[in-house]
Structures are given as structure tokens and as C-alpha cells.
Amino acid sequence: MDYLQQTFILQGGPVMYPLLFVSVLGFVLFVERSLFLHKGKIGTEDFLSGIKNLVGKKRLVEALTLCEDTPGPMARIVKSALLHYGESSASIRTAIQSAAIIEIPVLERRIGTIAALARAAPLLGFLGTVIAALQALYQLEASNGNSGEFSRLLAEALITSASGLAIAVMATLAHHFLCGRVRALVHDFEWVGHNIHEFLTVGAATVAAPTEKGEG
């Protein structure tokens, strides 16, 4: 830690402290969002197969219980469809769309903050560069050409710019990665919504008919 302070924080000047805060905040948000989106991924096909099996056997309460016990937005979307089972096709579709509209902003939460940090970091770095450059000019005039002090301030200017750009690059990559995960989940929403809608409006009756015939 002492070495880090000597090389970057102290040599980079006071602007390094807000840059350090931005980098730590971005890292924390990235880890939190990554873990949250990872929890949203479930074994979609196995989950849907279990739901269809229970609904086909007229065990709707058990299917709803399975949705409640399964974490993630997929289960909540399926649950909203099951709550309208037996109603019209339009009613089930509307319930699925409404549930998805609620879930998408939850997935995108705080991702915009990471994008804002990516834009702010190079601006902070440039601010540090301008401050150091001004100090270098004043110091050079006051010290009558002290090259050592001028070199220190020039290094400070370069360090803040480099740090700001490095943080911006990492934050941009993190934002791109998280947006990709969100798009993948939204695609899964569409697939699950269409699948469960088709099953509840057409497939459930098809599954139940052979079962009832066999029991008779």
C-alpha cells in the first residue's frame, strides 16, 4: 500500500483520490451486478419441463409453489402466466408482458452508473492534467527554471490522464459485458414467455386429454 501511495496517489496529485473512489465504486457495482445477473440464470428448459408436467397433471398449486421456490425473474414471469391460467390468450400474454416490463428495469439497475463512471473518469484525469500543468507553469516561473520541480508536475499531469483513461477503459468493458448479460436474459424472457403462453393456451389441453382418457 505504501508503494502504491508513493508511485500513484502521491505523485498523481489530489485528483487521484476522486479517481481512486471512482475506480473502487465501479468495481463494487460491477461485482454486485455480475452476481445479481448470474442468479437470474436458471436451468430454463428443466424448469419449464417441471412446470409443464405439473400443469398437465392439474397440479397448479404445486407449479406456483415451484415458481415461488425458484429464484430469478424467469420464475416470476412464469408465475404471472400461471395465475391467469384458464383465461383468454390475450390475458395470459398481457400478464407475461407486464411481468417482463417490471423485471427488465431491475436487471438494468446501476448499469447506467457504470457507464457514467466511464465518462467521468477521463474528465477527472484531464482536470488533474490541467491543474498540474498550471502548477508547472507557475512553479517554473517562480523557481527560475527548476527542471526537477517541473518534471515532477509534468509526471503528475501524465499520471492523472493515464489513470483516468485506464479506469474509463475498464468501466466501458464492464458496462459492455453487463449489457450483454442483460440482453441474453431479455432474450430468455421472450423465449420463456412465448413457450409458456403457447403451452397454457394450447399445449396444456393436449397434455391433459390423453391423461384423462387413460384414467377412464
User: What is the pLDDT, as a whole number, of residue 158?
Assistant: 83
Q: Between 140 and 29, name the one with better pLDDT.
A: 29
Q: Between 209 and 94, name the one with better pLDDT.
A: 94
Q: Poorest-confidence range of 21-25, 62-66, 82-86, 210-214?
A: 210-214
Count H helices and E strands in the chain, helices first: 10, 0
Confidence of residue 172 (pLDDT cuts 50, 70, 90): very high
User: What is the pLDDT, as a whole number, of residue 199?
Assistant: 87
Would residue 134 count as lying in a domain? Answer: yes
User: What is the pLDDT, as a whole number, of residue 86?
Assistant: 83
Evaluate if residue 4 carries a pLDDT over 70. no
Would residue 1 count as lying in a domain? Answer: no
Evaluate if residue 156 carries a pLDDT over 90. no
Would residue 166 count as lying in a domain? Answer: yes
CA angle 2, 8, 13 (to 5 degrees): 110
Confidence of residue 145 (pLDDT cuts 50, 70, 90): low
Q: Poorest-confidence range of 6-15, 16-25, 149-158?
A: 6-15
Would residue 43 count as lying in a domain? Answer: yes
Evaluate if residue 31 carries a pLDDT over 90. yes
Would residue 93 count as lying in a domain? Answer: yes
> What mean pLDDT do residues 48-65 have?
88
Q: Poorest-confidence range of 116-130, 144-158, 162-176?
A: 144-158
User: What is the pLDDT, as a whole number, of residue 147?
Assistant: 64
The number of folded domains in the chain is: 1
Would residue 6 count as lying in a domain? Answer: no
Evaluate if residue 165 carries a pLDDT over 90. yes
Q: Look up the pTM and report it.
A: 0.77
Would residue 140 count as lying in a domain? Answer: yes
Show the domain range for 92.
15-211
For 41, phi then psi, to 5°, come to: -90, 125
Would residue 4 count as lying in a domain? Answer: no
